[in-house]
Homo-oligomer: A and B are copies of this chain.
Amino acid sequence: MARLFHAPLSPFCRKVRLSLAEKKIECELVEERYWEQDPDFMRRNPAGKVPILKIDGKILTESAAICEYLEELHPEPSLMPKSPEARHEVRRLVGWFDDKFHSEVTSKLLNERVYRKLQGTGYPDSSNVKAGSKAIKYHLDYMAWLLDHRRWLAGDHMTLADFAAAAHLSSLDYISDVDWNRSEAVKDWYAKIKSRPAFRSLLADQIPGFPPPAHYADLDF
């Protein structure tokens, strides 16, 4: 069986978990305290990051590269469109969330509110929290603008772009950092994706010392 070394709130791991579950690839989850940089862990991935996927006798790292691999070997159900132009749009948005959204929002809020405590590196830096809370508004508005033109973020079908975005937003929702009242279109989109069977494992996550809010696992949030 495949095995995923992961951290529960990591949006990169969540994107891979969603892809695996949507494609019905059975996978054992192994929690990794990646910040301890244990030698076995560093041997599996010298980049010192999760996710790490053991599958088909191989060790795969880098979430975007893992998702493309899963798509190529398990093309159904498809999370990538067929035309090069539409595929570019999916990859552009995956990059948007995993690079820009992550650096402006997720890393700022999640690192300060959760990882500082887990890793014992001190109190939250309120300037980061403030910057992240401000930036998420602009990103939610951008998503609302996309969803005004499209059924899903990258077009009329659900793709890896939706999983990348939902991975970030679900991690932030775990710490109550998403204002679902800001855009009805974004809330409707999230309700659709949250109700998929592939999402269930994410909604069952529990971080010791950080209980999720009641609405986190509620499909009618």
A-side interface residues toward B, CB under 8 Å?
Answer: 46-47, 49, 56, 58, 60-62, 64-66, 68-69, 72-73, 84-85, 87-88, 91-92, 94-96, 99-100, 142
Contact B91 A65 (CB under 8 A): yes
**What CA separation (Å) do A46 and B96 show in the bound complex?**
10
Contact A62 B142 (CB under 8 A): no
Interface of A is mostly: helix
Residues of B contacting A84 with CB < 8 Å? 69, 72-73
Distance (whole angstroms) from the CB of A144 to the closest CB of chain B: 13
Residues of B contacting A65 with CB < 8 Å? 88, 91-92, 94-95
Interface CB pairs A-B, < 8 A, 26: A47-B96, A47-B100, A49-B100, A56-B85, A58-B85, A58-B88, A60-B88, A60-B92, A61-B92, A62-B91, A62-B92, A62-B95, A64-B64, A64-B91, A64-B95, A65-B88, A65-B91, A66-B88, A68-B91, A69-B84, A69-B85, A69-B88, A69-B91, A72-B87, A73-B84, A99-B99
